[in-house]
Structure 1
Amino acid sequence: MLRWSIWFHKWIALIVGVQVLGWVLGGLIMTAIPIEKVHGDQHAATPALAPIDLKKLVSLEKQLALADQTDVASATLKNTPRGPIWVLKSAAGSEGWWNAYTGENIDEIKGPDARRYALMAYKGAGKLAAVDYEETAPKEAQVSGPLWRASFSDAEHTRLYLDAFTGEVLSRRSSLWGLYDVFYQIHIMNFGASRSYNHPAIVIVTAATLMIVLTGFVLLWIKIGRDLAGLLARRSQALRLGRAKT
């Protein structure tokens, strides 16, 4: 048993040791850095939006008639930086955006508006360095669809991702978030977009780590047993020698 316990303990520890180090480092990073700083809350400003004027508001019934859509699965009224908007989502998943005061279908916001909305959503010493339109959302934004990326020149290199139709902030990112995310992916052993920890790799490595602990206990138990047996043997021998001398 001792030989097999040593063999399992040594080789399993060698295989999963790197990932265990990743778990520890990831845990250290995630506990040492306040999550508020990772989210960029220190640079988050709440835009002062005018309240929705209910007298001007197009009712949902009228909006559906104007949109001429019969397969609407959900309708959401949003108060956005560009004003109240009806967001109509079809059963197939496609979305349409409509001015909630006029009922007209709206287009994507332009660069000057994107800059203005980004400045409304930011506070800090940084300057707005660039505003870029992204047809396909980058991986770090963790959203889908076209959007605007606003980059600021602060110490954290803050980046805001704005909805291409409403001007709302969909996600905030920074160099600190990038560091945090790398260690988070290592921690959950998932480098995909899902960020799920329910996958075979982490289950296998966790089970292997459990084996290291169990075989370690076996080795410890055997070592303690041998040391105790040796101690008793030496004590018995000392007693025999003492009697022989007397």
Structure 2
Amino acid sequence: MAIRWPLFIRRTHKWLALFVGVQAAIWAASGMYMVAVHIDYIHGDHLVRTPEMTGQDLSGLVPPADVAARDAGTREVKLQQLLGKPVWKVSSEQGAYIVDARSGERIPELDKSLAVEIASSLYTGEPEIVSARLLDEAPQEMGSRKPPFWRIQFEGWNEPTFYISPTTGELIGRRHNLWRIFDIAWMLHIMDYDERSDVNNPLLRVATWSVVAMALAGAWLLYWSFPRRKKKKKVKAVA
């Protein structure tokens, strides 16, 4: 039985359109949101206070070499501040921790009050705390970040939230509702409903090539829809 190509292509185009039409609309809507909201706002840069660049008095500090020598697995020793006080951040094979740069004593993990104080000092808005919890399991919005960390949520319609490291006192994440919407839009856009990071997953590839096939089928149908002139046969004159 001969294949009726116009009918076959038309049906293929229709079913492909039904298959990828909804996803194409989702691509358009999610892409519009990701373009409309400035990426710096999504990152939460407006939530974090810019630290003042002031000189530090390095006299009387414990030498970094002495701090490094205490831990055989030390990889790096870096000077930073914790609530205006100098501390050495030690990165070792066992993890990161901080040492009082003047006394040389290791600073224990942050308790709730200190974590709230650090978060409040970094927050640009009114530091009205809604909740403060030490998490042992990472929520979806923290991605691959490994717990534990303090989750400090501030009051506000956007639910601004800071994540503070209990071992170093560093701000390791900031989230808010517009970021969370962006995360959902990104998940829908790349069709990775698990990790939300794989931009080359099988589902996205199938949908993309289905759109290409639909477009090619539509182009073929458009070409076929134009009327074709039949060639006139030449009539030979009879002598």
TM-score grouping bracket, smaller chain normalisation: 0.7 to 0.9
TM-score under structure 2 normalisation?
0.83
CA contact (8 A) 1:85 1:98 kept: yes
1:75–1:19 Cα change, 3 Å: farther
- Give the CA deviation at 1:199: 2.0
Query: Percent sequence identity over matched residues?
Result: 28
Structure 1 distance, partners of 2:33, 2:185, is 7
Structure 2 distance, partners of 1:101, 1:198, is 50
Task: Decide which of 197, 200, 206 is 1:198's aligned counterpart.
Answer: 200
- Give the CA deviation at 1:130: 2.1
Matches within 5 A, 1:11-90: 11-48=15-52, 51-65=55-69, 67=70, 69-81=71-83, 83-90=85-92
Does residue 124 of structure 1 match 2:115? no
Which structure features the higher share of helix residues?
1
Structure 1 distance, partners of 2:202, 2:21, is 18
Superimposed CA distance per residue, residues 174-216 of structure 1 (whole angstroms, 9 cap, x where no aligned partner):
1221111111110011133361312222122111111111111
Structure 2 distance, partners of 1:134, 1:173, is 15
The size of the alignment, in residue pairs, is 226
SS of 1:6's equivalent? helix
One-letter code aligned to 1:5: I
SS of 1:118's equivalent? helix
One-letter code aligned to 2:136: E
One-letter code aligned to 1:213: A
Structure 2 distance, partners of 1:29, 1:196, is 20
Q: 1:134: which partner in 2?
A: 135
Structure 1 distance, partners of 2:168, 2:55, is 16
- Taking only aligned residues, the RMSD between alpha carbons, in angstroms, comes to 2.4
One-letter code aligned to 1:162: I
| Uncovered stretches (5+) of structure 1, i.e. residues with no partner | 237-246
Larger mean CA deviation between 30-39 and 143-152 belongs to: 30-39
CA contact (8 A) 2:96 2:168 kept: no
SS of 2:105's equivalent? coil
Matches within 5 A, 1:163-174: 163-174=165-176
